[in-house]
Amino acid sequence: MTSPTVLVVEDEKLLRWSLREALSDEGYAVLEAADGREARQHLGEDGVDLVLLDMRLPDADGLSILKDIKERDPDIVVILMTAYSSIETAVQAIKAGAFDYADKPFDMDRMMVLVGKALETTRLRREVRALRARESEPYAFDAIIGESPAMVSIKRLLRKVAASPATTVLLTGESGTGKDLAAKVIHYNSDRAGGPFMNVTCSALTETLLESELFGHEQGAFTDAKKRKQGLFELAHQGTVYLDEVGEIPQSLQVKLLRFLEERSFRRVGGTRDLTVDVRIVAATNRNLDRAVQAGEFREDLYYRLSVMPVRMPPMRERGEDVLLLARHYVDRFNREFRRDVQQIDPEAAERLTAQRWPGNVRELKNAVERAMLLAEGQTLSADDFQILAPSMDTDFRLPPAGIDFEQLEKQLVIQALQRSGGNQTKAAKLLGMNRDQIRYRIEKFGLTD
């Protein structure tokens, strides 16, 4: 294991030598700098874990060097050394990010104890950063599988949302379209990634429990409130709260949520003091909130407050060839999990996969691939392995009593075929039992050239 590296920035040669000797005896690697220029040079070239920094240098102020260090690597711990100690100096040092400060002349044994504590802090900070990096790795933008026009557009939008200062985002879309993944991608690619990601499914709790879960409660606020509890909004300070199925929140709680979104303050259940926090709210729903508002089931003002930054996750039927990309992605994943060696999906199975409407969207496709992987015996997934994908055609279609607008029906079928094929006219024509000239005629007829 590599020894920690300590940079000593001190213009007094004798003190610099004394620190070097004591640090070397403790087993640390030591770098030396007599002024700010040398200090910056070491910081730019060497892996430094701790800096012992004199407050007054011939060419620089210690606080300015401290600022440079924190900008380069916020995990480096700095101990300021000063012969001109005061309460004001100490406050300035801690505010600027110093771990601690030491008055000159100092006891060398005590300084080594302080160095040990500081290096332990550096180690823990870097471990936390590495853990967070591993935690966020599955939620990079590449984790969203899809190259269809719909998904290219969504990924572009999610990048903008993650980078924006917007504190409220509304994800809409059918069940299984990937709203949970999108919420995590937004969080882990934003400047809030270092903060908590807290989530709750609003339909899974009773009104009382949901209120307590979100806002927390004081001891004795209700029968089972044996002690004070912090809510998700409080725990997620400087992070993200994901409200899944937000459309199911009871109306009495909708008022409290609206107040929180407008003021970023709240009271615990049974509390008398307002608490203020900094959180981003990512809400998700598969309900049509417009209709819920019209039916009086969802507050209009809350709906508008939630939909400051709306993102609609497209269903599988609008994603064309993404079906096969996702299927192959899940084949690779289940190969690792099941220790299988499935190499391919045969052409007939691939055709059935792309022809399926997938009402359960990505979740249904994932389950279908998992089941096929468990049933398959060789290295190729066949159509028989995808048992739910038997070709079907509803030949018992009945004309509604009021009739239909045939041209409108034809137009909608052409649109759906183009969406499913990702705009590929040849594939869209095949889905409708036409040749390329026939579908091209209808594309021009209905003005679908864009």
Q: Are strands 240-244 and 280-285 parallel, antiparallel or unpaired?
A: parallel
pLDDT of residue 305: 95
Residue 348's CB is within 10 A of a number of other CB atoms, namely: 14
- Written in H, E and C, the secondary structure of 317-340 is HHCCCHHHHHHHHHHHHHHHHHCC
Task: Reply yes or no on whether the pLDDT at 297 is more than 90.
Answer: yes
* Helix, coil or strand: residue 378: coil
Report yes or no: 381 and 346 within 8 Å, Cβ to Cβ. Answer: yes
Residue 60 backbone zone (phi > 0: left; psi -120 to 50: alpha; other: beta): beta
Tens-place pLDDT, residues 81-91: 887 766 676 67
- Residues 11, 81 within the same domain: yes
* Helix, coil or strand: residue 9: strand
Report helix angle 347-355 to 322-338, nearest 10. 120
- Residues 147, 45 within the same domain: no
Report yes or no: 97 and 66 within 8 Å, Cβ to Cβ. Answer: yes
Residue 91: partners with Cβ closer than 8 Å, 6 or more residues away: none
Task: Reply yes or no on whether the pLDDT at 2 is more than 90.
Answer: no
* Nearest alpha carbon to residue 137 among 207, 184, 203, 96: 184
For 259, the enclosing helix (H) or strand (E) is helix 251-263
Token digits of residue 308: 């400051």
The reply to whether 57 falls in a domain is yes
Domain boundary among 93, 113, 134: 134
* Nearest alpha carbon to residue 101 among 54, 154, 156: 54
Rounded to whole angstroms, how far apart are CA atoms 369 and 329? 10
pTM: 0.66
Token digits of residue 40: 């910056």
pLDDT of residue 398: 62
The CATH number covering residue 50 comes to 3.40.50.2300
Tens-place pLDDT, residues 98-145: 898 888 888 899 999 999 999 998 888 888 777 766 776 778 888 899
Report yes or no: 321 and 421 within 8 Å, Cβ to Cβ. Answer: yes
Tens-place pLDDT, residues 413-446: 888 888 888 888 888 888 887 777 778 888 888 8
> Distance between terminal CA atoms of the chain?
61
The CATH number covering residue 206 comes to 3.40.50.300
pLDDT of residue 395: 45
- Residues 89, 208 within the same domain: no
- Residues 125, 148 within the same domain: no
- Residues 118, 31 within the same domain: yes
- Facing residues of 199 across strands? 242
Query: Looking at residues 68-81, what average pLDDT do you find?
Result: 86
- Residues 157, 190 within the same domain: yes
- Residues 432, 376 within the same domain: no
The percent of residues in the chain predicted with pLDDT above 70, rounded, is 94
- Residues 121, 191 within the same domain: no
Tens-place pLDDT, residues 312-366: 999 999 998 899 999 999 999 999 999 999 999 999 899 889 888 888 899 999 9
* Nearest alpha carbon to residue 35 among 5, 17, 13: 13
Tens-place pLDDT, residues 27-63: 999 999 999 889 888 887 768 899 999 988 898 888 8
- Residues 15, 85 within the same domain: yes
Tens-place pLDDT, residues 218-258: 888 787 788 889 999 999 999 999 999 999 999 999 999 99
The domain tally of the chain equals 4
Tens-place pLDDT, residues 184-217: 999 999 999 989 999 999 999 999 999 999 999 8
- Residues 415, 349 within the same domain: no
Task: Reply yes or no on whether the pLDDT at 394 is more than 50.
Answer: no
Name the residue type at position 80.
L
pLDDT of residue 397: 57
Rounded to whole angstroms, how far apart are CA atoms 78 and 49? 9
The reply to whether 366 falls in a domain is yes
Domain boundary among 114, 134, 154: 134
pLDDT of residue 286: 93
Report yes or no: 179 and 171 within 8 Å, Cβ to Cβ. Answer: yes
Name the residue type at position 359.
P
The reply to whether 397 falls in a domain is no
DSSP 229: E
Residue 11: partners with Cβ closer than 8 Å, 6 or more residues away: 34, 35, 54, 56, 57, 58
Enclosing domain of residue 371? 316-389
- Residues 159, 116 within the same domain: no
How high does pLDDT run on average in the chain? 88
